[in-house]
Structure 1
Amino acid sequence: MSPLRRQIRQTLTIARRDFTATVFTPIFLLFLFAPAIMGSLSVLGGLSAASVTQGSTDKARLVAMLPAASAKALRSADAQLRPLMRGDAAPPPLTLHPSVEKNAQLVSRAMLDAPGGDVNAVLYGTLAQPRVLFSAGNRNEARYLAVVARQAALIERAGTAPPTVRMEPVKTAAPTLGDRNAAAFLTVFGIFFLTLFLSGQVVGTMAEERNNKVIEILAAAVPLESVFLGKLLGMYGVALLFVTFWGTVLGQIGALLPGDIGADLAQLHPAIGLMPFALLFAAYFTTAFLLLGSVFLGVGAQAGTMREVQMLSLPITIIQVAMFGLASSAVSHPGSALATAAEFFPLSSPFAMAGRAASDARWWPHLAALAWQLLWVAVFITVGARLFRRGVLQSGSAKPAWKRLFARG
């Protein structure tokens, strides 16, 4: 057997060992469903926070004291304007109160000062000369009442009810500029989250095997380069399984969402096409994972304890967050000097180019970018393998990790 074939076989053996040892364990299920667990905790936290204020929000209301002749016009105006505000921006319900001819301002103040504070704003007077009183912190509700009064005055002057407008959603053939930008940002965030979440497992596994002296046993039986590449490929296989699982889940979740939300998500299709985008996403995720994974694995070999692992991983994480910010700014300003710099710099190039695939339909920049990134993957793996060898061979040293990392071989 030739030396090359022997090294490939040893590398694949280490990769299969790490993949099997990671996937076929109960802990992997927690790792696999970690996004669902984190999402559930976020939803529960949001529901708990919402329930705290839900009671007071449900009791809040707006009051209008106008002549009976203007009540119908006010109701029509409120029905027109209220659908324009959704969610937290929606105003409280509007209640009509019989008009008071005398002391209308005093009655309005009494409503605002009533125990419980349920009334946020009061509209009184006439549509020709409306007045609005509101309590502190409820200026937006007062503005809403003012707009409703103006619209009601127009309806009253017209003398007829406004026409009912029929709205029909239409799925456009090409994504809009806003949809392309949103899809590009989600793409950048997706690759950033996946690479940071998954490649960080490499250094944790490395520290565990250092403590158990497993890495020394592997180093005695297999060349350290094969150990390095095998571990990198094994964790890449785990990452690929993770991405495939959640990609399938998220691809089908749109059918379970309400009609409006599902339709809005359907508009976020990439400009380059769904299948080409899937291939480019997989390619850029691969290059980003190999770049970051080789750095984590090479640096993690210098650490002997979990504390040293955390100290060495923190600067890498900070740099990765900075690359995410750079790529996010690049997809928001395509064609700018900032975008060109993000697409050229090795660590941010996978993020920026993946976002470009969602917003730009041209193919040739991706071919050049992938060739450029593969060159840097080879450089990072070479440097990472040397760091890995130095860290493993000096595993018995009492020197701190940062001294071993920068020590001359």
Structure 2
Amino acid sequence: MIETIRAAFVIARRDFTAIIFSKSFFFFLLGPLFPIGIAIAAGNLGSQVSQDIDTSIIGVALSPEEAEKLLATRTRLADSLGSKSLPELVILDDIPAQEADIVAKLDSTKSLAAILSGTLAGPVLTGSPRDVNLWQGKMALLAETALSQPTAVEIETRYIRQTGSSSDRNQMLTAQGGQAILILLTMILAGMVLSNLVEEKTNKIIEILAAAIPMDAIFLGKLFAMLGMALVGIAVWSTAGLSLSLLVGVNWGALAAPAVGWPLFCVLMILYFSMAYLLLGSLFLGIGAMATTVREVQTLSMPVTMGQLLVFFLAYYAITKLGEPVEWFAVLFPFSSPFAMIARAAQMDNIWQHGLALLWQVVFTMIIIRFSVMLFRRNVMKSGQSARKKSLFARVTGK
């Protein structure tokens, strides 16, 4: 076992050094700029569409006469200002009396962003800081117009940490963002494992290495060398993105904190990316063991890529199904497990489950590597003129 680890380290160091110090690696680092630019443009468009569609709902806990007057004022102003520029108002039947009752009402009613209580002359707006700051001015305008008085109405604000609606919504957005980053990085970077193996098979380098080093060590070394290269690329991209965000003044405080906290969430992002990369990379090694030409590589890798998208869609769908059978399936299925677990990290604060998930993913990665080694020994180590003429099915089954 120790000899295998030492041999794997030698292979990893050889491949890592050859890739990092090559001229093509610089252009590889520039490659994601194009999809990132497209993603930023699409994100801005999507946020605008979301802003146009998603209107906050504010509960009105005033007397029946004042509530009706405020609702009629909102209808009149919507004709001139536009309905999307004003929040939706819902009159609450059971008016909460105490501040604690208002907080409980916000937590129990998931659709409400804030609650307006008190009187029109002395209104009180209670909600999360984001929602209160967003609608405080508009609610003051509605109150002034409803009272038909020239003096300004001062709205008293009461902040709660987060409403039930905003907490669930924001953590779900964090889960979606984490999954999107994982799948984007995995699909960009994992394919290099396949191209590297096929290139060395074509040059017969892999057969020379196999004569001196155990195949398990070669595959492990190649996997971790490519993972190291991927982490270097991510570090460069993250540094550039962070520097750019500081220059433009991005408000990081507006980001919704995940349930496990940002430090642990970032660590889990790195760990789950590593496992997603190793799982897909080990599968690509098996494909490389079966393929003898670049055309076969393209033929075999396309179903895997499409399957990876289906796996991502499964994990993405399961975000809102915590604890349900479909979500447990996404957690237990090895290829979707990293994506489903990072969503859990954003929405659930229990940490022990991540240790079990990572252990399960490591075990399954080793199983795939062993299977890939078996395929390689059948197809490459016994290669020859007769073996080259075998069909793809025969190479997979070893017959």
> What corresponds to 2:36 in structure 1?
39
Superposition deviation, residue 329 in structure 1: 0.9
Larger mean Cα displacement after TM superposition, 36-45 or 25-34: 36-45
Match of 2:212 among 213, 218, 221: 221
Larger mean Cα displacement after TM superposition, 325-334 or 274-283: 274-283
Q: Are residues 27 and 83 of structure 1, via their aligned partners in 2, closer, same or farther at CA, if it must alter by over 3 Å? A: farther
> What corresponds to 1:202 in structure 2?
193
Match of 1:398 among 381, 388, 393: 388
> What corresponds to 1:60 in structure 2?
none
Asked if the contact 1:225–1:389 (Cα under 8 Å) also holds between the matched residues in 2, the reply is: no
Structure 1 residues without counterparts, runs of 5 or longer: 48-72, 87-150
Q: Are residues 9 and 159 of structure 1, via their aligned partners in 2, closer, same or farther at CA, if it must alter by over 3 Å? A: closer
Q: Distance in 2 between matches of 1:181 and 1:366?
A: 18
Q: Are residues 401 and 217 of structure 1, via their aligned partners in 2, closer, same or farther at CA, if it must alter by over 3 Å? A: farther
Asked if the contact 2:175–2:344 (Cα under 8 Å) also holds between the matched residues in 1, the reply is: yes
Asked if the contact 2:379–2:398 (Cα under 8 Å) also holds between the matched residues in 1, the reply is: no
- Between the two proteins, the alignment pairs up a number of residues equal to 310
SS of the equivalent of 1:339 reads: helix
> What corresponds to 2:398 in structure 1?
408
> What corresponds to 1:103 in structure 2?
none
> What corresponds to 2:9 in structure 1?
12
Determine whether 1:386 maps to 2:374. Answer: yes
Asked if the contact 1:16–1:234 (Cα under 8 Å) also holds between the matched residues in 2, the reply is: yes
Match of 1:245 among 216, 236, 245: 236
Q: Are residues 173 and 26 of structure 1, via their aligned partners in 2, closer, same or farther at CA, if it must alter by over 3 Å? A: farther
Larger mean Cα displacement after TM superposition, 20-29 or 373-382: 373-382
Q: Are residues 394 and 299 of structure 1, via their aligned partners in 2, closer, same or farther at CA, if it must alter by over 3 Å? A: farther
Structure 2 residues without counterparts, runs of 5 or longer: 45-72, 87-140
SS of the equivalent of 1:393 reads: coil
Cα displacement string for residues 289-313 of structure 1 (whole angstroms, at most 9, x for unaligned residues): 1111111011112212211101110
Q: Are residues 42 and 237 of structure 1, via their aligned partners in 2, closer, same or farther at CA, if it must alter by over 3 Å? A: closer
Determine what percentage of the aligned residue pairs are the same residue.
35
Determine whether 1:285 maps to 2:277. Answer: no
> What corresponds to 2:21 in structure 1?
24
Q: Distance in 1 between matches of 2:383 and 2:158?
A: 64
Superposition deviation, residue 15 in structure 1: 0.8
Q: Distance in 1 between matches of 2:224 and 2:319?
A: 30
Q: Distance in 2 between matches of 1:401 and 1:323?
A: 29
Q: Are residues 402 and 361 of structure 1, via their aligned partners in 2, closer, same or farther at CA, if it must alter by over 3 Å? A: same
Equivalence map 1:139-218=2 (5 Å): 160=149, 163=152, 172=161, 176-218=167-209
> What corresponds to 2:320 in structure 1?
332
Q: Distance in 2 between matches of 1:379 and 1:370?
A: 14
Superposition deviation, residue 392 in structure 1: 2.3
> What corresponds to 2:113 in structure 1?
none
> What corresponds to 2:69 in structure 1?
none
Q: Distance in 2 between matches of 1:395 and 1:167?
A: 80
> What corresponds to 1:296 in structure 2?
284
Could you say which structure has the larger radius of gyration?
1
Q: Distance in 2 between matches of 1:161 and 1:40?
A: 48
Determine whether 1:266 maps to 2:257. Answer: no
SS of the equivalent of 2:292 reads: coil
Q: Distance in 2 between matches of 1:266 and 1:229?
A: 41
> What corresponds to 1:100 in structure 2?
none
Larger mean Cα displacement after TM superposition, 10-19 or 167-176: 167-176
- Taking structure 1 as the reference length, the TM-score comes to 0.66
Amino acid at match of 1:228: F
> What corresponds to 2:81 in structure 1?
81
Amino acid at match of 2:349: A
Larger mean Cα displacement after TM superposition, 159-168 or 367-376: 159-168
SS of the equivalent of 1:268 reads: coil
Asked if the contact 1:171–1:267 (Cα under 8 Å) also holds between the matched residues in 2, the reply is: no
Q: Distance in 1 between matches of 2:358 and 2:306?
A: 24
Asked if the contact 1:304–1:395 (Cα under 8 Å) also holds between the matched residues in 2, the reply is: no
Superposition deviation, residue 234 in structure 1: 0.9
